Chain A
Amino acid sequence: MAAIAHRERVLERVVDEHRRRRRHDFWTLYLTRVAVLVALLLAWQLLSGVLLDPYFFSRPSLIWHQLVLLVQSGRFTGNVLLTVEEAFLGYLLGTVAATVAAAVLGLLPRAYAIVEPFLLAVYSIPSVAIGPLLIVWLGIGIDSKVVLAAYFVFFVVFMNGVSGVRSVPRGWIDVARVMGAGRGQLVTKVVLRGAAPHFMTGLRTAVPQAVIGAIVGEFISSQRGIGFLISDASARYNTAGVFAAISVLSILVLVMAILLSGLSRLGARRAG
């Protein structure tokens, strides 16, 4: 019948348009992104010495050379692993402390209210400012970096944890209590489950924070680590070296981010 034929034609037209638009998007979008990147790199390389002062900007070939040097001289692995170790330990320390604090204060509204202005005051201290203090207390070894990283981590995890606990809807708790849940059960089955998403966000955001804490600690005083590589190159006016070290750091952070998102997706699938 003509009506059905007309209908098919209309549906086909729409699917066609859709497909065309997606193809158009693909080319203009992804290709443009790649083109922008390549163009930037090329311009950087070619204009260096001509328009771009190599002191400030260096160029891709020099930076690559520095990276190669790093690996060949054997300084690469040691320094990277040190920073990772500092970040990792700091992360553990910070998250454990923050989780305990968040759980206790989140569940005891009166305690939280009492402590709140103190927390506000401590949170107002710029986190790097305690770096030198930690040097005085813990020396220039790995400990001061670990604690600084832990400090960076603590606040993120704590804030998210507390807001997670306090965001559990009153209704859930009430229903559970009417069903006869005891104190412990309320905490484990209702509150912790309800706070989990916020808490997870905090845990995720805290990972780069741990790395930053370690790096800053190394800036303030260190002879090793990625942070040291960055500040040392800067002190020697080795622009290419600075860029190279920063790119190592960025790749590290990227790898961690990918690992994390992979882990969280696994966890989400496990949790159903």
Chain B
Amino acid sequence: MAVVTLSRADRALWRATEDARRSRRNWAVSVWLGRLCLLAGLLGGWELAADRHLLDPTFTSKPSAIARAWWQLATTGSLWHHTQYTLTEFAVGFALGALLGVLAACLLTLSDLPYRVLEPYLLALYGIPKLALGPLIVLWFGVGLLPKIVLAAMMTFFLVYMNTVVGIRSTSGDMVALLRVMGATRRDLYRRLILPHALPYTLTALRLTIPIAIVGAVLGEFLGATGGLGYLIYEQVTFLAVDKMMAAIATLAAIVLAFRLLLLPLERSVNRHHKAIGGNG
């Protein structure tokens, strides 16, 4: 039978790993405890304050009322009805804006001249707050789904365009030279170097732009609509139905969160390969 003896080196290693593990665990536990306490405190405090009339419940509502309102909206199918509107506006607008943004970035960086001529104009267009164009879009496209899609697309376009351009232009000149010496044509350069290099930039823009695109859609609904979560919020103002409004707001937040979480694994796997290589490994 073999007797296993741990050398002092082994024991030191084991102790170090155990210490690290323990302190990580302590940290995680304290953080999660803190989060639970904060959540309970906020919700509980709110509910109590409303009940004790420290806060006027018709004004600020309370968690239980909001939950009830949400449940009601959900079970009567009203929530899904409105969510569909907003989701469609967002999805179509986002996809459109993203595609156009990438296309524009590729086209404008193909040769230097068009880029440098048009760039100040694009910057100027970017300087105009796009949300401020809402009423103009409504004037042009009416109150159907289209103006919301256009707004969402507009908001998406600029960020995706700018980030992709940065990504394309940040390609290392050395690498371009290297590939050219290896015999790469322009198409090769784009396909094998420039576009893969720019991809993480584009994905970051996509992730950052999700809430912005939804803002575009929601604003469009404020300015004139027949359905959608934004429309729902807006029409509840006259009834002072704060609980329904908050329920709709919470749903919107959930949608945004869901989309961002969806994009996260994609972004992570792309970033893993693009991690900067620095130093002597």
Contacts and interface: CB of A to CB of B under 8 A. Distances in A.
5 contacts: A56-B140, A113-B31, A215-B129, A219-B134, A234-B135
Contacts of A4: none
A149 to B, nearest CB: 12
B68 interface: no
Nearest to B215: A126
Given A114-B38, A117-B35, A125-B249, A28 B113 contact: yes
**Chain B at the A interface: SS class:** helix
B253 A254 contact: no
Interface stretch (B14-22, B189-197, B218-226): B218-226
A79 B196 CA distance: 49
Interface stretch (B5-13, B73-81, B228-236, B266-274): B228-236
B131 A133 contact: no
Contacts of B215: 126-129
B200 interface: no
A231 B233 contact: no
A216 B249 contact: no
B245 A136 contact: yes
A129 B248 CA distance: 9
A44 B30 CA distance: 64
Interface stretch (B46-54, B103-111, B116-124, B174-182): B116-124
Nearest to B234: A132
B211 A257 contact: no
Interface of A: 28-29, 32-33, 36-37, 56, 110-111, 113-115, 117-118, 120-133, 135-137, 208, 211-212, 215-216, 219-220, 227, 230-231, 233-235, 237, 239, 242-243, 246, 249-250, 253-254, 257
B230 to A, nearest CB: 7
Contact of B218 (A111, A118, A128, A254): A128
Given A29-B117, A33-B120, A126-B218, A133 B30 contact: no
Contacts of B121: 33, 36-37
Interface string B115-144: 011101100100111011111101110000
Given A110-B31, A118-B38, A125-B249, A136 B131 contact: no
B222 A215 contact: no
A136 B132 CA distance: 22
Contacts of B59: 136-137
A128 B237 contact: no
B246 A234 contact: no
Contacts of B206: none
Contacts of A233: 135
A250 B136 CA distance: 14
A37 B135 CA distance: 25
Given A132-B233, A136-B237, 13 more contacts: A29-B116, A32-B113, A123-B211, A126-B252, A127-B215, A133-B242, A135-B237, A137-B59, A211-B129, A216-B219, A234-B136, A242-B139, A246-B128
A25 to B, nearest CB: 9
A38 B230 CA distance: 40
Nearest to B133: A246
B117 A250 contact: no
A131 B222 contact: yes
B262 interface: no
Contacts of B222: 128, 131-132, 219-220
B75 to A, nearest CB: 22
A114 B127 contact: no
Chain B, interface size category, equals 35 or more
Contacts of A135: 237
B34 interface: yes
Among B135, B218, B246, the most chain A Cβ lie within 10 Å of the Cβ of: B135
Contacts of B234: 132, 220
Contact of A126 (B60, B128, B214, B260): B214
Contact of A250 (B60, B113, B128, B211): B128
B257 A124 contact: yes
Contacts of A137: 59-60
Given A121-B257, A253-B129, A234 B218 contact: no
A136 B128 CA distance: 29
Contacts of A36: 117-118, 121
Nearest to B58: A136
A235 B134 CA distance: 12
Contact of B30 (A110, A211, A243): A110
Contacts of B214: 126
A36 B127 CA distance: 19
A117 B134 CA distance: 32
Given A126-B211, A237-B139, A242-B136, A253 B218 contact: no
A250 B219 contact: no
A250 B127 contact: yes
A253 B229 CA distance: 30
B117 A239 contact: no
Interface string B196-223: 0000000000000001001100110011
Contacts of B138: 234
B256 A124 contact: yes
